[in-house]
Structures are given as C-alpha cells and as structure tokens.
Amino acid sequence: MDDQPPRPSLLRRLWPYLKWAFFVLVLYFVARRAVQLWNSAPAESIQVNGYWLIPAVLTYLIGWLPSVWFWRAMLRAMRQPLGWMDAIRAHYVGQVGKYIPGKGLVLVIRGSLVKNAGVNPILGGVTAAYEALVFMAAGAALGLALAPIAFGDSFWKQIPTQLLWLRDQPILVPLLVFALNFATTPISAWLFTRMGQKTMKQTRADNSDLPSISAALVAKGVAITSLGWFCHAISLGCVIQSVATKPMDVKQFPIWLAATTLSTVGGFVILIAPGGIGVREGLLIEVLKNQPDLGPTLAVVVAGLLRAVWFVTELITAALLYVTRRRA
C-alpha cells in the first residue's frame, strides 16, 4: 500500500476559519463602540475640506522613505546592494500585502520584486521583516512615551499607586522608554545578523567571511524611522483639519503622534486583522475622542477618513510604481 501523508489536525484545518471569525468579532466590537460614541454625542454637521487631504497623502508617502533607507542600509550591510528606485518600488508595492491576514505576503512581494535587481529574494524578505520590526519598535517607544499625554487622567487611573510619582516627572517616562529601546539594539543586531547569515549559508556555497548588521545601524534605524512616524502624525493632523471647525493647532502634534503610533502598532500586533483594520480605528477613536475641538463624533469620522485616505493612497501608488517600473 502507498504511504499516505498524515491528515492535518483538526485545529490546523479549522484555523483559517477561526482567524476570520476572530477578525469579524474584532470588527463587530469596534463598530459597536463607534456607534455608541456617535449616538452619545449631539448631532452636528460635518464637512470635509478636500484640500487638506492633499498634504495628508503627501506626508503619508514621504513617511515611508526613512524605512526604505533603513531597508537598503541593511541590505548593503549584508552585501546585497539595491538601487533607490528598486527599493522604493518594492517597499511601496509590498504595502498592499498587509491586507492579507498574517501580513506575511508583504515580505514575499518585496523579496520577489528585488530578485531582478540582483538581490537574494529570501534575504530581501528577511531584511524587510527586520525593517518592519524596527519601525514598529520605534513607534511603540514613541507611543508609550506619549501615552500619559494622549490618555491624560484615564491613563494614570490604570497605573498602580506606587508609580504615580512618575506623573510629576513628565520627562522621565519618555527617557526611560527610549533608553530601553536603544539599550536593546545590540541584542536586535545580533539576532538580525544570525538570521541573515543563516539565510546566506543556505543560499550560497561559500560560507566564509559572512557579513553582519551592526548595533549602530540598528540604533540609527530606530532614530531614522522615527522621522517616518512624525510624517504620518502630520498626515493625521491634516485629516483632522479637513473636518475640524477651528484652525490647526500645532500644539496638538504630540497627540497626533501618540494616536498614530499606538493605533498602527496595535493593528500590526494583531496579525488576524488585515492591515490592522478595526484594531487601528478602535485605538485611534479612543485616543482622539476626548481631545479638544474633536469629541466622539469627529473622532469616528477621522478614523474612517484616515483609513480611506491611506488605503487609496497605497493602492494607487503601488499600481503606478509596479506598472511604470516594470515597463522601464
């Protein structure tokens, strides 16, 4: 009798359906929360000023360039040089992969697009994962550092009484967060190097003189990708201004930055949510609903509008770069 492969376990067979069920459940609770906030606020007319959406689109696109730089720098450190245009095309086209549950398709797309440029596709995907992790680590550090400002009194109510003295030291929390972030860069560099070298050993015959990623490069990546978060925060501020009734107040920038980082990182961590859909909007609403000149209704509108602006921008940019660069 022919040997038959073992049947997958029941959990493995049910897992795809369970992932979608969890995702639908997340969307349900976020939508219910949005409806509650909408109904609890007094009715008001909302008008969208489309002119403010133009800088929102531009700053969002510019915000990914620091990540492109860091990805190229890691590839160069692993002796895989990649031109700027090829890197930009692979990075921006790869963004559409995050809308598939698991978000792993981002790495596959990037790796496949850099293959024709002479880059090892597996190493291209591996370093793309490193870049995403560093970018999200920088965002998490910024979000945690600004959380006391973003959530105000509601944040401190969740803190043990033994730590309330931190409230009187507003600079200490950001300093501790960033110190911890940069202190872990040698560990991150070591892990990235080991994984990269393991990939190179599997894909080439000569395993001597393997390259490495330095801790200085990882620390530089954290600092530079933080600039991308600043651009995305400005994009959020422009979307807020498109529906706000008062002129833009740049003093609210820390709130925009905290809302952008916390919501995006939260959506990234929940792998079952394609593109962080639902999770990002829910966190964004919770941060913005108590902010001056916004309120629950505008917070819901801003969360939905930001998703629409960023999603359409990603699709159009990916399509244009994929078609034009391929023809070139």
pLDDT band of 240, cuts 50, 70, 90: very high
What is the pLDDT at residue 208?
55
What is the pLDDT at residue 184?
77
Q: Does some domain include residue 312? A: yes
Number of domains forming the structure of the chain: 1
Q: Assign 3-class secondary structure to 50-75.
A: HHHHHHHHHHHHHCCHHHHHHHHHHH
Q: Does some domain include residue 260? A: yes
Residue 283: C-alpha distances to residues 34, 264, 328 (Å): 11, 9, 41
Domain that holds residue 85: 49-327
Mean pLDDT (whole number) for 184-200: 76
Q: Does some domain include residue 17? A: no
Whether 61 has a pLDDT exceeding 50, the answer reads yes
Q: Does some domain include residue 127? A: yes
Provide the b/e sequence for 264-278 (b: ≥16 CB within 10 Å): bbbbbebebbbbbbb
Q: Does some domain include residue 21? A: no
Q: Does some domain include residue 40? A: no
186: three-class secondary structure by DSSP: helix
- As a whole number of angstroms, the distance between CA 185 and CA 88 comes to 25
258 vs 150, more confident: 258
Q: Does some domain include residue 152? A: yes
pLDDT band of 1, cuts 50, 70, 90: very low
Query: Is the separation of the CB atoms in 226 and 138 below 8 Å?
Result: yes
197 vs 169, more confident: 197
Q: Does some domain include residue 24? A: no
Residue 3's φ and ψ, nearest 5 degrees, are -70, 130
Of 211, 298, 272, nearest in space to 34 by CA: 298
